Structure 1
């Protein structure tokens, strides 16, 4: 190859590096070797999970924790389908995930030929899971496709993107011209008249409410100031957990599913929702009928009329929107009554405390049992810990509402799409991208086994990684739903599994914690030894049908957070 030419594979890797990619996750295969050939030369480190689904979750966790797009490399056909569940989760949770793969050659026949990994309509299939799937048609187009992906990540609601490079273009050569780069990010700001209308509504409100989603993570300081100025209780969605200090007197945490919080939303005279879909997966039911104005802040214009239409739409970057709103709130406004007093009104601390108590008063006894274990974990781990979570009872009934997280900590949970097996590979991705931060994966025994092979990946990193597994002997959520229906349990009970031995077989460590004190001790040790440590917390496995039936038929919004579809 001449010095002034590049292959398609090198053009792809060069473009990724120029856009700041320094770490990729993936598995080499026959068709993508030309991509792997150039990674090291362009300064891109690589982590090889044991399954492409794990690679997708790892890249997702990396993106959420670092704020930079996650990159995953697959080969054609089955490998790309393997990562599809992770791509769906990234789409649901608005995560900037870039999947790059080879494709069949440019002039591959439309009729099947039996070629290795041949998959009809590969790019078209992924177009339905992503913001876009770009199949390039020349080597010169490759860096433009990468620039297009990063432009999307920087300027619009983050969604996964797929870039497909035909096999023959990976090894084809073309002149190494100047690279095409995504433009710098210019945060969008709402229209001034919309900011004034929102400020007027909030000034007039006597019972304001704040709801924060994943889009609020970039505006932590502004959210804190706004909540104090309004004196408003603050609820977060699962994705919004950690965007507001849960130790704050105004914090409700992740309790949008409770009857008390639903009533609060319905009676609030202004609801400010920042970066959230107000989705069923967060509320565990439909949004209650609101009597006050709904003010929505979102980078995605479609959110202003999708699902729950905004009475006052603020289309723009969350930080810029809230900064503009704070300026408007500080200005006198003759039409909206007296201007906000310096420092804002007296905070509704009693209201927030009462709401927290009312929400927790209906806790199921089984869920109450987990609280001392969660408190033990919180007492041991530093404030900047990153928690990765699974679609497991210990997470959505336990840690989401009852394990407090303050910035700079993060809590990463697979909402909406609700995949299983997210926690462990996502933790691997976080640890690979931020090795200095403490990371803990929290899962159930059913969900862990979807991606348990990533213990080997974690062992290969050689970095401390506690994996706490609440073991209820199978798919506890579905077992409870069957019992609540009066059905005999089918395919939900697993034979006993020695997870500690399995962890050791993969090159890690394993132990059992029957008490909160034992869990705290195990975590202290796990934070000091290289590799993963699986800590098994045994839970009762008998039916809890009476309390589950009460949970689902009582006055509270009671459906499981993902429609009851997960263990």
Structure 2
């Protein structure tokens, strides 16, 4: 049953008549929302008038897609749902790509928009921002898209969203409030809250089966995805107890310190690592889809002799690579139960002493295979690691310098974060995501990494960064266009078409917005520029031309 805040307890307990916009914002605040990303428009003004009274601060990006990416990043670094507010029609469609990215990466993103009035005819009338169905458009990229039909239903829709965020695999949600409901006033009771949700615990029989398989195994491995992040300590402890190889997906980067002797870092896509996992007696995969976007190839029929999967989503037990043993529940709870079962045996479990040597061998094989390609980025990535704090947050784009360069070659530990648009693979994520991180964690160093092609999908967010006046290095490896697609065309034997772009003086563009900008051609110059950028209020765009970066 939905919980309630009692009457008379501050601003959430009012029994007065309230507008639909007021009910919406009160419900958001009652669920702990303190930050919103969005752009005011003609149709959402009744929402905006209530934000400040309910203590919700607002960050104004320059495009709704930027608002979505910023709210996504806010959610990733806080663990709380990120809120984005749009107006009707084109604004909502602008944020759809960000919703798709949040869906792909299991991010709790709440998108709130107005909609056409309740009685609006189905036939087009030419009303401002009119479209056939906003909810149908958003259902393809969200867990659900809910159109409220009364003022009283608004807070129920918000509670439904937060119940989803708390009870299973997080996904984005869209709530639409018709224009006439936003302005309509109705009697209200106390704010209704999503109910508390118990942490889901794994089946005891499955725990015993998992522990038995791990105990009997000679060679063992842990594959960690984004769903393992809340269980970082348990992942490390179990890996050390088993002497298991640790490999992560992009979303799992840094769950276990990538400098640990058992860690292969982000290497699940490497053929040699995939072969090593196939040869393992037992593989424990935590919070990962084991999908094409993780493996960079079609998933194999099996992974190891026994694959144990841990996931809050039961559907993952038979998706991607099917599990022989499935533990459905919270990752921390599942791993705690497995460790208890292992410790309960009189002989315990013995760690494989040969694993560190195997890890060194696999890392050498991984890096040797791509040395000529990756050489252009490695000196600059070393500078990033040396200059930036251990708990710095790096935001990433779908760019070669990021997925070939930084993901495997920029080592992180659990105190740092690396936010990458996996799966859906949108361009333009890094810069607005960095704005979202700064809104959530202004005390942390934040660095955005991008290519020149991807940056220009959201380059207008430099203005947002200037307005906020927090130090933000934006590092752009410039390869003159869309380098990945250029390489794919060449590999097919095609003539590269529409991938080479005229040069843009990106540092000058940043200066035009009110920030700073530099062009560097050596790692030494980059180190100096990066150090300055981390001390300079506002964004500093640092361009590294790739033809001179090797």
TM range (shorter): over 0.9
2:360 aligned residue: 353
SS in 2 for 1:210: strand
1:513 aligned residue: 520
Per the TM alignment, residue 176 of structure 1 is displaced from its structure 2 partner at its CA by 2.3
SS in 2 for 1:261: helix
Unpaired runs of 5+ residues, structure 1, are 545-567
Within 5 A, what are the aligned runs for 1:12-51?
12-51=24-63
TM-score of the aligned structures, taking structure 1 as reference length: 0.93
Quick one: distance in 1 between partners of 2:214 and 2:375? 37
1:448 aligned residue: 455
Quick one: distance in 2 between partners of 1:124 and 1:494? 36
Quick one: distance in 2 between partners of 1:217 and 1:259? 25
Out of 427, 432, 452, the residue aligned to residue 434 of structure 2 is: 427
Out of 258, 266, 281, the residue aligned to residue 278 of structure 2 is: 266
CA change 1:76–1:541 in 2 (3 A) is farther
1:249 aligned residue: 261
After superposition, the C-alpha distances for 1:212-258 in whole angstroms (9 at most, x for unaligned) are 00000000100010000010110000000021110111000111121
2:141 aligned residue: 129
CA RMSD of superposed structures (Å): 1.5
Per the TM alignment, residue 184 of structure 1 is displaced from its structure 2 partner at its CA by 2.3
1:500 aligned residue: 507
Within 5 A, what are the aligned runs for 1:465-504?
465-504=472-511
Quick one: distance in 2 between partners of 1:482 and 1:428? 34
Contact 2:211 2:341 in 1 (8 A): yes
2:11 aligned residue: none
Out of 323, 327, 342, the residue aligned to residue 329 of structure 1 is: 342
TM-score of the aligned structures, taking structure 2 as reference length: 0.96
Per the TM alignment, residue 20 of structure 1 is displaced from its structure 2 partner at its CA by 0.6
Contact 1:228 1:347 in 2 (8 A): no
Contact 1:232 1:347 in 2 (8 A): no
2:205 matches 1:193: yes
Quick one: distance in 2 between partners of 1:291 and 1:355? 17
Per the TM alignment, residue 279 of structure 1 is displaced from its structure 2 partner at its CA by 1.1
Quick one: distance in 2 between partners of 1:234 and 1:515? 34
2:390 matches 1:383: yes
Per the TM alignment, residue 541 of structure 1 is displaced from its structure 2 partner at its CA by 9.3
Quick one: distance in 2 between partners of 1:489 and 1:348? 44
After superposition, the C-alpha distances for 1:38-77 in whole angstroms (9 at most, x for unaligned) are 0000000000100000000000011001111100000011
1:75 aligned residue: 87
Per the TM alignment, residue 367 of structure 1 is displaced from its structure 2 partner at its CA by 1.2
Unpaired runs of 5+ residues, structure 2, are 1-13
CA change 1:512–1:487 in 2 (3 A) is same
Moved more, 302-311 or 452-461: 302-311
Contact 1:250 1:347 in 2 (8 A): no
Quick one: distance in 1 between partners of 2:353 and 2:231? 23
2:352 matches 1:340: no
Out of 114, 131, 137, the residue aligned to residue 119 of structure 1 is: 131
SS in 1 for 2:477: strand
1:548 aligned residue: none
